[in-house]
Structure 1
């Protein structure tokens, strides 16, 4: 039988904090673990691998729903990877759009930087925010 991990040991081994592990269990991303007679959770090495998979997916910016789909796909290694590729392509497009938004924000902030007014009433940033037209487009403002 393989070594059982407590939730603390699982957190250390996987690099995922305790509350996140509990959240992943409630969300169905991590199977409900066996419990000891005293009620402690007992995890296996496969749980460490799954949490690392989830953590790496989150680091790449995938949503939990996308990660759930990727876990399902990983569980069927003979399946075609077209779905995984579709997720990657969509994610790349979203990242490109975000980069463009960030570049627009950077350009606008560069125009507003370097305010040499001594009083807030002459602050370029405050005036720009008050005018409600920052030239960023709808996507970057979060409305």
Structure 2
């Protein structure tokens, strides 16, 4: 049996997070010692390691709950687990595309600045005036475009920018 502190150390999950997972029903309510301390079994340690790994891969609490439920029924086909993993992969690829757009725009802004003073600084102007940006990169921006092939490298961007001047 493990205390909550020991469980935390072994899994690198903070104590408040372990309590949160209990409240969310991802971990069973643990037994209590005579001193009313939580006591966790080996199965709780394994479950928490599973949750931690799934969170590291970006799965939502709801997806983790579904995966745990699937894992508790070894005889079921794995199509549902595959679907959940595929949905997460699509989400990760969407975020990567968003980050690539952000990277390209930041590289463009950073290389456009030729000002000697803040009064002439393109970085400050671009951050103050969104219309100076060439791509959509708001936090809420989404889209399925794979920009891996479309995003030029910073050196290519710099070359393109100098050609525009």
* TM-score for both structures, normalised by structure 2: 0.78
Q: Residue 135 of structure 2 aligns with which residue? A: 136
Extract structure 1 runs of 4+ deviating beyond 4 A: none
Matches within 5 A, 1:36-115: 36-114=33-111, 115=113
Separation in 2, partners of 1:132, 1:112: 11
Contact residue 120 and residue 126 of structure 1 kept, 8 A: yes
Separation in 2, partners of 1:101, 1:16: 29
C-alpha displacement at 1:116, in angstroms?
3.9
Separation in 1, partners of 2:135, 2:62: 29
Q: Residue 124 of structure 1 aligns with which residue? A: 122
Separation in 1, partners of 2:121, 2:28: 54
Contact residue 101 and residue 136 of structure 1 kept, 8 A: no
Contact residue 3 and residue 37 of structure 2 kept, 8 A: yes
C-alpha displacement at 1:113, in angstroms?
1.3
C-alpha displacement at 1:15, in angstroms?
2.0
Across the aligned residues of Structure 1 and Structure 2, the Cα RMSD in angstroms comes to 1.4
C-alpha displacement at 1:101, in angstroms?
1.0
Separation in 1, partners of 2:10, 2:98: 37
Deviation string 1:90-135 (CA, Å, 9 cap, x unpaired) is 1111111111111111111111114342322222122112221323
Q: Residue 21 of structure 1 aligns with which residue? A: 18
1:5 partner SS: coil
Deviation string 1:49-75 (CA, Å, 9 cap, x unpaired) is 000000000011101111011000000
Contact residue 33 and residue 43 of structure 1 kept, 8 A: yes
* TM-score for both structures, normalised by structure 1: 0.89
